[in-house]
Amino acid sequence: MADLTVKICGLEFKNPILPAAGPPVRDGRAAVACAQGGAGGIVTKTVSTRAAQVPRPCMAEVKGGFLNTELWSELPPEQWLEREYTLAKSTGLPLIISLGYTAEEIEELARKVAPFADALELSTHYLGDDPSPMVEAVKAAKMVSQVPVFVKLSPAARDIVVAAKAARDAGADALVAINSFGPCFGIDVETGRPLMGSKEGYGWLSGPALKPLALRCVFDIARSVDLPIFGVGGVSTGLDAIEMIMAGAWAVQACTAAILKGPKVFGQIAGEMATWLDEHDYSSPDEIRGLAIRRFQERRCTTEAVPPEYDVEKCTGCRLCEISCVYDAIVVVDHKARLNAELCFGCGLCVTRCRPGALRYAG
Protein backbone atom coordinates (compact mmCIF):
# COMPACT_ATOMS: atom_id res chain seq x y z
CA MET A 1 0.00 0.00 0.00
CA ALA A 2 1.18 3.53 -0.75
CA ASP A 3 3.08 5.30 2.02
CA LEU A 4 1.25 8.55 2.75
CA THR A 5 3.84 9.86 5.19
CA VAL A 6 5.08 13.35 4.33
CA LYS A 7 7.82 15.45 5.90
CA ILE A 8 7.53 19.23 5.79
CA CYS A 9 9.97 21.59 7.50
CA GLY A 10 11.16 18.87 9.85
CA LEU A 11 7.64 17.77 10.82
CA GLU A 12 6.43 14.29 9.94
CA PHE A 13 2.75 13.84 9.10
CA LYS A 14 1.31 10.32 8.93
CA ASN A 15 -0.70 11.45 5.92
CA PRO A 16 -0.97 14.75 4.04
CA ILE A 17 -4.61 15.48 5.01
CA LEU A 18 -5.04 18.16 7.70
CA PRO A 19 -7.90 20.33 8.92
CA ALA A 20 -7.77 23.95 7.84
CA ALA A 21 -8.14 26.63 10.49
CA GLY A 22 -11.89 26.99 11.07
CA PRO A 23 -14.92 25.50 12.82
CA PRO A 24 -13.75 21.83 12.61
CA VAL A 25 -10.88 22.80 14.96
CA ARG A 26 -12.82 25.35 17.00
CA ASP A 27 -11.39 24.01 20.30
CA GLY A 28 -9.24 21.23 21.72
CA ARG A 29 -12.00 18.65 21.78
CA ALA A 30 -12.72 19.26 18.11
CA ALA A 31 -9.01 18.89 17.32
CA VAL A 32 -9.03 15.50 19.07
CA ALA A 33 -12.03 14.47 16.96
CA CYS A 34 -10.14 15.40 13.78
CA ALA A 35 -7.22 13.26 14.91
CA GLN A 36 -9.56 10.36 15.63
CA GLY A 37 -11.12 10.93 12.21
CA GLY A 38 -7.81 10.27 10.52
CA ALA A 39 -6.11 13.66 10.12
CA GLY A 40 -2.35 13.52 9.58
CA GLY A 41 -1.74 16.67 11.63
CA ILE A 42 -3.67 19.41 13.39
CA VAL A 43 -4.12 23.08 12.51
CA THR A 44 -5.98 25.03 15.18
CA LYS A 45 -8.52 27.76 14.57
CA THR A 46 -6.91 31.17 14.20
CA VAL A 47 -6.59 33.09 17.46
CA SER A 48 -5.96 36.77 17.94
CA THR A 49 -5.45 38.86 21.05
CA ARG A 50 -9.19 38.95 21.70
CA ALA A 51 -12.15 36.71 20.99
CA ALA A 52 -14.02 37.28 17.72
CA GLN A 53 -17.57 38.55 17.65
CA VAL A 54 -18.98 36.48 14.79
CA PRO A 55 -22.06 37.85 12.96
CA ARG A 56 -24.79 35.22 12.65
CA PRO A 57 -26.09 33.34 10.73
CA CYS A 58 -22.49 32.63 9.77
CA MET A 59 -22.58 29.47 7.63
CA ALA A 60 -24.71 28.29 4.72
CA GLU A 61 -24.46 25.54 2.14
CA VAL A 62 -25.08 26.89 -1.37
CA LYS A 63 -25.18 25.10 -4.71
CA GLY A 64 -21.64 24.04 -5.51
CA GLY A 65 -20.13 25.63 -2.44
CA PHE A 66 -20.39 27.14 1.00
CA LEU A 67 -20.69 30.67 2.40
CA ASN A 68 -19.42 31.83 5.76
CA THR A 69 -18.81 34.93 7.82
CA GLU A 70 -16.37 33.11 10.09
CA LEU A 71 -13.69 35.24 11.68
CA TRP A 72 -10.97 34.11 14.06
CA SER A 73 -11.69 32.08 17.19
CA GLU A 74 -14.67 33.13 19.27
CA LEU A 75 -12.78 31.77 22.28
CA PRO A 76 -10.41 34.12 24.13
CA PRO A 77 -6.69 33.37 23.78
CA GLU A 78 -6.48 32.72 27.51
CA GLN A 79 -8.79 29.71 27.15
CA TRP A 80 -6.67 28.30 24.36
CA LEU A 81 -3.54 28.67 26.46
CA GLU A 82 -5.12 27.21 29.59
CA ARG A 83 -7.00 24.30 28.04
CA GLU A 84 -7.48 23.96 24.28
CA TYR A 85 -3.86 23.74 23.12
CA THR A 86 -3.13 21.09 25.75
CA LEU A 87 -6.00 18.98 24.43
CA ALA A 88 -4.91 19.48 20.82
CA LYS A 89 -1.33 18.59 21.75
CA SER A 90 -2.52 15.36 23.37
CA THR A 91 -3.29 13.94 19.91
CA GLY A 92 0.42 13.33 19.38
CA LEU A 93 0.16 14.79 15.89
CA PRO A 94 2.18 17.80 14.70
CA LEU A 95 0.38 20.87 16.01
CA ILE A 96 0.25 23.95 13.77
CA ILE A 97 -1.12 26.95 15.65
CA SER A 98 -2.84 29.58 13.54
CA LEU A 99 -2.35 33.21 14.58
CA GLY A 100 -3.57 36.61 13.37
CA TYR A 101 -3.32 39.35 12.37
CA THR A 102 -0.94 42.28 12.87
CA ALA A 103 2.78 41.98 13.51
CA GLU A 104 2.29 43.27 17.05
CA GLU A 105 -0.48 40.77 17.81
CA ILE A 106 1.45 37.88 16.29
CA GLU A 107 4.62 38.73 18.20
CA GLU A 108 2.66 38.75 21.46
CA LEU A 109 0.83 35.51 20.72
CA ALA A 110 3.80 33.62 19.27
CA ARG A 111 5.66 33.96 22.56
CA LYS A 112 2.68 32.63 24.50
CA VAL A 113 1.93 29.61 22.29
CA ALA A 114 5.58 28.53 22.07
CA PRO A 115 5.20 25.63 24.56
CA PHE A 116 2.53 24.03 22.37
CA ALA A 117 3.38 24.87 18.75
CA ASP A 118 5.28 22.61 16.37
CA ALA A 119 4.74 25.29 13.72
CA LEU A 120 2.89 28.58 13.33
CA GLU A 121 0.43 29.45 10.57
CA LEU A 122 -0.07 33.17 9.99
CA SER A 123 -3.40 34.23 8.56
CA THR A 124 -3.27 36.95 5.91
CA HIS A 125 -6.98 36.80 5.11
CA TYR A 126 -7.17 40.56 4.65
CA LEU A 127 -4.07 40.88 2.48
CA GLY A 128 -4.70 42.97 -0.62
CA ASP A 129 -2.16 44.46 -3.00
CA ASP A 130 0.23 45.62 -0.28
CA PRO A 131 2.25 42.70 1.15
CA SER A 132 3.96 44.79 3.84
CA PRO A 133 1.59 43.81 6.71
CA MET A 134 2.26 40.15 5.92
CA VAL A 135 5.99 40.75 5.65
CA GLU A 136 6.07 42.46 9.04
CA ALA A 137 3.98 39.65 10.56
CA VAL A 138 6.38 37.01 9.27
CA LYS A 139 9.39 38.89 10.59
CA ALA A 140 7.75 39.28 13.98
CA ALA A 141 6.96 35.56 14.20
CA LYS A 142 10.46 34.56 13.10
CA MET A 143 12.02 36.91 15.63
CA VAL A 144 10.33 35.35 18.66
CA SER A 145 9.70 31.75 17.53
CA GLN A 146 11.97 28.73 17.11
CA VAL A 147 9.48 26.71 15.04
CA PRO A 148 8.66 26.84 11.31
CA VAL A 149 6.43 29.69 10.20
CA PHE A 150 3.82 29.05 7.51
CA VAL A 151 1.97 31.87 5.76
CA LYS A 152 -1.62 31.50 4.59
CA LEU A 153 -2.24 33.45 1.41
CA SER A 154 -5.50 35.04 0.36
CA PRO A 155 -6.93 34.94 -3.17
CA ALA A 156 -7.70 38.62 -2.62
CA ALA A 157 -4.08 39.37 -3.46
CA ARG A 158 -4.00 40.76 -7.01
CA ASP A 159 -0.94 38.63 -7.83
CA ILE A 160 -0.58 35.69 -5.50
CA VAL A 161 2.89 34.86 -6.83
CA VAL A 162 4.10 38.31 -5.80
CA ALA A 163 2.60 37.71 -2.35
CA ALA A 164 4.21 34.28 -2.15
CA LYS A 165 7.62 35.64 -3.06
CA ALA A 166 7.24 38.41 -0.48
CA ALA A 167 6.43 35.80 2.18
CA ARG A 168 9.44 33.73 1.14
CA ASP A 169 11.78 36.72 1.20
CA ALA A 170 10.48 37.66 4.66
CA GLY A 171 11.50 34.23 5.96
CA ALA A 172 8.42 32.04 5.64
CA ASP A 173 9.23 28.33 5.79
CA ALA A 174 6.11 27.16 3.91
CA LEU A 175 2.98 28.55 2.29
CA VAL A 176 -0.70 27.74 2.70
CA ALA A 177 -2.93 28.51 -0.29
CA ILE A 178 -5.66 29.61 -0.28
CA ASN A 179 -8.14 31.17 2.09
CA SER A 180 -11.84 31.60 1.28
CA PHE A 181 -12.82 34.00 -1.49
CA GLY A 182 -15.06 37.00 -1.33
CA PRO A 183 -17.03 38.87 -0.55
CA CYS A 184 -19.88 36.85 -2.05
CA PHE A 185 -23.63 36.92 -1.59
CA GLY A 186 -26.45 34.43 -1.12
CA ILE A 187 -30.21 34.78 -0.73
CA ASP A 188 -32.89 32.68 0.96
CA VAL A 189 -35.50 32.71 -1.79
CA GLU A 190 -38.34 31.86 0.61
CA THR A 191 -37.83 35.06 2.61
CA GLY A 192 -35.66 37.21 0.35
CA ARG A 193 -33.18 37.66 3.17
CA PRO A 194 -29.41 37.42 2.73
CA LEU A 195 -28.10 34.08 3.96
CA MET A 196 -25.35 35.69 5.99
CA GLY A 197 -25.81 37.82 9.08
CA SER A 198 -22.95 40.22 8.43
CA LYS A 199 -23.61 43.95 8.25
CA GLU A 200 -23.47 43.96 4.45
CA GLY A 201 -25.06 40.51 4.07
CA TYR A 202 -21.84 39.29 2.47
CA GLY A 203 -20.07 35.99 3.05
CA TRP A 204 -16.92 34.24 1.91
CA LEU A 205 -16.93 31.36 -0.55
CA SER A 206 -15.38 27.97 0.18
CA GLY A 207 -16.09 24.35 -0.73
CA PRO A 208 -16.07 22.69 -4.19
CA ALA A 209 -16.63 25.96 -6.08
CA LEU A 210 -13.32 27.23 -4.75
CA LYS A 211 -11.18 24.31 -5.93
CA PRO A 212 -10.35 25.53 -9.49
CA LEU A 213 -9.18 28.86 -8.08
CA ALA A 214 -7.18 27.16 -5.34
CA LEU A 215 -5.58 24.78 -7.84
CA ARG A 216 -4.55 27.67 -10.06
CA CYS A 217 -2.98 29.49 -7.12
CA VAL A 218 -1.07 26.40 -5.95
CA PHE A 219 0.04 25.71 -9.53
CA ASP A 220 1.30 29.27 -10.01
CA ILE A 221 3.07 29.40 -6.65
CA ALA A 222 4.72 26.00 -7.08
CA ARG A 223 6.18 27.08 -10.43
CA SER A 224 7.61 30.28 -8.94
CA VAL A 225 8.54 29.73 -5.29
CA ASP A 226 10.66 26.87 -3.92
CA LEU A 227 8.80 26.35 -0.64
CA PRO A 228 6.49 23.58 0.58
CA ILE A 229 2.82 24.36 -0.03
CA PHE A 230 -0.30 23.25 1.81
CA GLY A 231 -3.13 23.29 -0.76
CA VAL A 232 -6.49 24.49 0.58
CA GLY A 233 -9.83 25.01 -1.13
CA GLY A 234 -12.53 22.55 -2.13
CA VAL A 235 -10.77 19.38 -0.98
CA SER A 236 -13.42 16.81 -0.04
CA THR A 237 -12.28 13.57 -1.74
CA GLY A 238 -9.11 11.65 -2.38
CA LEU A 239 -9.14 12.78 -6.01
CA ASP A 240 -9.31 16.42 -4.90
CA ALA A 241 -6.22 15.82 -2.79
CA ILE A 242 -4.49 14.10 -5.71
CA GLU A 243 -5.18 17.15 -7.89
CA MET A 244 -3.70 19.46 -5.27
CA ILE A 245 -0.54 17.37 -5.01
CA MET A 246 -0.25 17.24 -8.80
CA ALA A 247 -0.53 21.04 -8.87
CA GLY A 248 2.48 21.23 -6.56
CA ALA A 249 1.15 20.97 -3.00
CA TRP A 250 3.02 18.87 -0.45
CA ALA A 251 -0.06 18.40 1.73
CA VAL A 252 -3.67 19.61 1.82
CA GLN A 253 -6.06 21.11 4.31
CA ALA A 254 -9.84 20.72 4.39
CA CYS A 255 -12.44 22.75 6.25
CA THR A 256 -15.82 22.82 4.48
CA ALA A 257 -15.78 19.05 3.90
CA ALA A 258 -15.25 18.45 7.61
CA ILE A 259 -18.10 20.81 8.46
CA LEU A 260 -20.51 19.04 6.11
CA LYS A 261 -19.32 15.44 6.59
CA GLY A 262 -17.77 15.41 10.04
CA PRO A 263 -14.17 14.73 11.14
CA LYS A 264 -14.14 11.20 9.72
CA VAL A 265 -13.70 12.82 6.31
CA PHE A 266 -9.94 13.18 6.91
CA GLY A 267 -9.47 9.43 7.07
CA GLN A 268 -11.78 8.94 4.12
CA ILE A 269 -9.79 11.37 1.96
CA ALA A 270 -6.52 9.73 2.99
CA GLY A 271 -7.91 6.27 2.25
CA GLU A 272 -9.20 7.28 -1.17
CA MET A 273 -5.87 8.89 -1.93
CA ALA A 274 -3.96 5.74 -0.98
CA THR A 275 -6.27 3.59 -3.10
CA TRP A 276 -5.77 5.82 -6.15
CA LEU A 277 -1.99 5.78 -5.72
CA ASP A 278 -2.03 1.96 -5.45
CA GLU A 279 -4.22 1.59 -8.52
CA HIS A 280 -1.86 3.81 -10.51
CA ASP A 281 1.34 2.14 -9.25
CA TYR A 282 2.63 5.08 -7.23
CA SER A 283 4.31 4.34 -3.93
CA SER A 284 3.85 7.78 -2.32
CA PRO A 285 2.43 11.26 -2.94
CA ASP A 286 5.98 12.48 -3.60
CA GLU A 287 5.91 10.72 -6.98
CA ILE A 288 2.98 12.79 -8.27
CA ARG A 289 3.88 16.11 -6.68
CA GLY A 290 4.02 18.75 -9.41
CA LEU A 291 3.00 16.29 -12.13
CA ALA A 292 0.66 18.88 -13.66
CA ILE A 293 3.57 21.31 -13.88
CA ARG A 294 5.67 18.79 -15.76
CA ARG A 295 2.81 17.86 -18.08
CA PHE A 296 2.13 21.54 -18.72
CA GLN A 297 5.75 22.08 -19.71
CA GLU A 298 5.65 19.08 -22.04
CA ARG A 299 2.38 19.86 -23.76
CA ARG A 300 1.97 21.29 -27.24
CA CYS A 301 -0.42 24.22 -27.39
CA THR A 302 -2.66 23.87 -30.42
CA THR A 303 -5.77 25.35 -31.99
CA GLU A 304 -6.37 22.20 -34.03
CA ALA A 305 -9.34 19.95 -33.35
CA VAL A 306 -8.01 16.81 -31.68
CA PRO A 307 -10.80 14.25 -31.10
CA PRO A 308 -10.59 12.19 -27.90
CA GLU A 309 -9.75 8.51 -27.88
CA TYR A 310 -12.82 6.28 -27.54
CA ASP A 311 -13.01 2.90 -25.79
CA VAL A 312 -16.30 1.38 -26.95
CA GLU A 313 -16.12 -1.41 -24.36
CA LYS A 314 -16.33 1.10 -21.51
CA CYS A 315 -19.26 3.02 -23.00
CA THR A 316 -22.55 2.57 -21.11
CA GLY A 317 -24.71 4.59 -23.50
CA CYS A 318 -25.62 7.12 -20.82
CA ARG A 319 -25.87 9.89 -23.49
CA LEU A 320 -24.22 12.60 -21.38
CA CYS A 321 -21.72 13.17 -24.20
CA GLU A 322 -24.43 13.31 -26.87
CA ILE A 323 -26.64 15.69 -24.92
CA SER A 324 -23.88 18.21 -24.27
CA CYS A 325 -22.07 18.08 -27.63
CA VAL A 326 -23.04 21.38 -29.22
CA TYR A 327 -21.17 20.32 -32.41
CA ASP A 328 -23.37 17.23 -32.97
CA ALA A 329 -20.23 15.11 -33.19
CA ILE A 330 -21.53 12.32 -30.92
CA VAL A 331 -24.68 10.24 -31.18
CA VAL A 332 -25.62 7.15 -29.20
CA VAL A 333 -26.88 4.19 -31.26
CA ASP A 334 -27.78 0.86 -29.68
CA HIS A 335 -26.45 2.05 -26.31
CA LYS A 336 -23.02 2.92 -27.69
CA ALA A 337 -21.63 6.34 -28.57
CA ARG A 338 -20.46 7.04 -32.09
CA LEU A 339 -17.91 9.81 -32.55
CA ASN A 340 -17.73 11.75 -35.82
CA ALA A 341 -14.14 13.02 -35.92
CA GLU A 342 -14.90 15.40 -38.79
CA LEU A 343 -17.52 17.24 -36.74
CA CYS A 344 -15.55 17.13 -33.48
CA PHE A 345 -14.29 20.57 -32.39
CA GLY A 346 -11.94 19.09 -29.81
CA CYS A 347 -13.49 21.13 -26.98
CA GLY A 348 -12.93 18.32 -24.46
CA LEU A 349 -16.26 18.62 -22.66
CA CYS A 350 -17.29 15.04 -23.40
CA VAL A 351 -14.10 13.74 -21.80
CA THR A 352 -14.91 15.50 -18.52
CA ARG A 353 -18.54 14.31 -18.61
CA CYS A 354 -17.85 10.65 -19.45
CA ARG A 355 -18.35 8.85 -16.13
CA PRO A 356 -17.03 5.41 -17.18
CA GLY A 357 -13.95 6.89 -18.85
CA ALA A 358 -14.76 5.71 -22.37
CA LEU A 359 -13.63 9.08 -23.79
CA ARG A 360 -10.11 10.11 -22.89
CA TYR A 361 -7.17 12.12 -24.15
CA ALA A 362 -3.88 10.26 -24.45
CA GLY A 363 -1.17 10.95 -21.86
Listed in sequence order, the residues at least 6 apart from 16 whose beta carbon sits closer than 8 Å to its beta carbon are: 4, 6, 40, 241, 245, 249, 250, 251, 252, 270, 273, 285
Specify the amino acid at residue 335. H
- Residue-wise pLDDT for 61-91, tens only, equals 999 999 999 999 999 999 999 999 999 999 9
- Residue-wise pLDDT for 245-297, tens only, equals 999 999 999 999 999 999 999 999 999 999 999 999 999 999 999 999 999 98
The mean per-residue pLDDT over the stretch 52-57 comes to: 95
Nearest to 113 by CA among 100, 124, 102: 100
As a whole-number percent, the residues of the chain with pLDDT over 70 amount to 99
* Domains recognised in the chain with CATH numbers: 6-296 (3.20.20.70), 303-360 (3.30.70.20)
Specify the amino acid at residue 340. N
Give the pLDDT score at 363: 66
Give the pLDDT score at 127: 60
Determine if the peptide bond prior to 101 is cis (ω within 30°). Answer: yes
The mean per-residue pLDDT over the stretch 354-359 comes to: 94
**Using 50, 70 and 90 to split pLDDT, how confident is the model at 1?**
confident
Beta strands in the chain (DSSP E): 6-8, 11-13, 17-19, 42-43, 59-62, 65-68, 95-99, 119-123, 149-153, 174-177, 181-185, 187-188, 193-194, 202-206, 229-232, 251-254, 309-310, 330-333, 336-339, 359-360
The mean per-residue pLDDT over the stretch 303-307 comes to: 89
Give the pLDDT score at 360: 93
Mean of pLDDT over the chain: 95
Asked if the model's pLDDT at residue 126 lies above 70, the reply is no
Give the pLDDT score at 125: 59
Give the pLDDT score at 36: 98
Give the pLDDT score at 135: 93
**Using 50, 70 and 90 to split pLDDT, how confident is the model at 228?**
very high
Give the pLDDT score at 213: 97
The mean per-residue pLDDT over the stretch 226-240 comes to: 98
- Residue-wise pLDDT for 324-345, tens only, equals 999 999 999 999 999 999 999 9
Asked if the model's pLDDT at residue 187 lies above 60, the reply is yes
> How far is residue 302's CA from residue 262's CA, in Å, rounded to a whole number?
44
Give the pLDDT score at 77: 97
